Amino acid sequence: MKPPGLCLEINHLIHYAETMKVWLKLLIGSVLGIVAGFLLPSANQSAANAIAWLGELAIRIGRYGLAPILVFSLTIAVYELRQDGQFWGLTLRTFLAIFACSVFVISAGILATLVFPPSRIPILNEGLADAISLNTADNILKIFPSNMFAAVVSDGVFILPLCIFAFFLGMGLSYDRNYTKPVISLIDSLSRIFYHIVSFFSEILGFVMIVLSAYWAIRFHQVLKADVFQDLILLLGILSVVLGFGILPLFLYFLKPKTNPWAILYGSLSQALAAFFSGDINFTLPVLFRHIKENLGVRRRSNTVTVTLFTVFGRAGSAMVAAAAFIVIIKSYSSLPINTGIIVSIAGRALLISFLLAGHPGDGAYTALAVICLGYGGGFEAGYLILKPLAFYLIAVGTFLDVMITSIGSYAVSHISGFQEDKEIRHFI
């Protein structure tokens, strides 16, 4: 029989864990994982394989509830916005925000790389180029499978078919209220049920983050030993922090009525941590849905639409990282100066690619870099291979910026559209 004092202490710890802020759980998990990752012997291949397997399992746990909440919440959001006559206006404002953010972030990244150029990276034996592409033509075909229900039973990695399915279903609910009312009630209930299921998973992500951050730390430790990537790591790290935690939130000062950007930043810490250590936009999406609603006060109908559009089409952070890395590759291969024409070409390619990364939720920045290298030609086709050991870091930084753009952009669009109500910081989850 347990002593009464011990039982009280255990109950106190359980209650504290339940009431702890989600971002704090993720932070503690991340710190524990990083410490474990640096302490684990990197030479032990069995341990490295086990951590890699656990990392894949962790990503699957984070993605587990995405498809149901995306389909049902987006369906009801499209229906409600159409009933109010606000769907197309909200969609247009979101795409304008995506385009503006993409141009600014990519331009800022290229400018910073040119002003503070990292040291050249030695050209090592590159080996064979990987078969990497955007698969744009195939992805377009996947949007409209021969069977409409095939979009729902897919693996859920490429979420655009799910979004299109939800869009048409939401449109169809406006047909005749006499016939669709029972279905509307069912979909609304399912949306709320799966929201609570996803909320449960976000509460246990602190444990998942231990594995993800440990796997991240193991790879980071190995990269540091190579002693050739430090300048690029430092540049991208500083640039992402300045953009994500500094410059982008400052744009919120221009919103009317005025808002506190630092409260928005505090409310976005959970998704920032999840994005950086997972490097997977689909893993972070459920966290985004919950925190933008409960911390930033964005209503479900706007939250679902804006977050989905930003994460599908607004991958400016990944594209910016790819553009900056490609400039480093050019400087590593050649001593010739980079003229204005080359800069415009890189920026244009990166901007276009930022809209086409929906099929690459877990490797956006590295895929974008490979596509830029392969498309640019001129002997740079295999240039991305010299950064292959750093691919996980490029992906982490790119995904972090993608998610911060999504949080800030979704809040701004919803605030302007009248779908946002401020919440007290003490009530943040």
pLDDT tens digits, one per residue of 109-144: 999 999 998 888 887 655 555 667 788 888 888 888
* Bigger pLDDT: 23 vs 122: 23
Cα–Cα distance between 377 and 81 in angstroms, integer? 46
**Per residue in 184-242, pLDDT tens?**
999 999 999 999 999 998 888 889 999 999 999 999 988 988 888 999 999 999 999 99
Q: At what angle do helices 300-313 and 391-417 cross, to 10 degrees?
A: 140
Distance CA 99, CA 309 (A): 11
Residues 6+ apart with CB under 8 A from 335: none
User: Which range, of 40-49, 168-177, 309-318, averages the lowest pLDDT?
Assistant: 40-49
Query: What percentage of the chain exceeds 70 in pLDDT?
Result: 93
pLDDT of amino acid 78: 94
Angle at 200 between CA 272 and CA 313, to 5 degrees: 40
DSSP secondary structure letters along 279-344: --HHHHHHHHHHHHHHTT-B-HHHHHHHHHHHHHH--HHHHHHHHHHHHHHHHHH--S---HHHHH
CB 152 within 8 A of CB 71: yes
Q: Classify 110 in phi/psi space as left (phi over 0), alpha (psi -120 to 50) or beta.
A: alpha
pLDDT of 226 reads 80
The per-residue pLDDT for 331 is 87
Task: Write down the mean pLDDT value for the chain.
Answer: 88
Q: Classify 254 as helix, strand or coil.
A: helix
pLDDT for the residue numbered 124: 64
Instruction: Find the mean pLDDT for residues 31-36.
Output: 92
Helical segments of 116-157, H only: 136-143
Q: Domain limits of the chain? A: 20-427
| Cα 144 from Cα 202, distance rounded (Å) | 31
| Token output for 288 | 């985004």
Q: What is the pLDDT of residues 350-404, one digit of tens each?
A: 999 999 999 899 898 999 999 999 888 777 788 888 899 999 999 999 999 999 9
Nearest alpha carbon to residue 70 among 1, 180, 158, 171: 158
Quote the CA–CA distance of 295 and 266 in Å, as a whole number. Answer: 9
Contacts 24+ apart (CB under 8 A), 81-87: 81/301, 81/302, 81/305, 82/170, 82/171, 82/174, 83/174, 86/417, 87/305
Cα first-last separation, the chain: 36
**Above 90 in pLDDT, residue 426?**
no
Report which DSSP code applies to 260. Answer: -
pLDDT of residue 127: 54
* Residue 325, pLDDT above cutoff 50: yes
3 state DSSP class of 420: strand
pLDDT computed for residue 11 by the predictor: 46
Whether the pLDDT of residue 1 is over 90: the answer is: no
Q: Has residue 16 got a pLDDT over 50?
A: no
CATH number of the domain at 20-427, please?
1.10.3860.10
Q: What does the pLDDT average to over 47-54?
A: 85
Q: Which pLDDT does position 130 carry in this prediction?
A: 65
Summarised one tens digit per residue, pLDDT across range 157-170 is: 889 999 999 999 99
**44 exposure class (CB count in 10 Å sphere: 0-12, 13-18, 19+):** exposed
Determine the Cα–Cα distance for residues 303 and 195; give it in Å rounded to an integer: 13
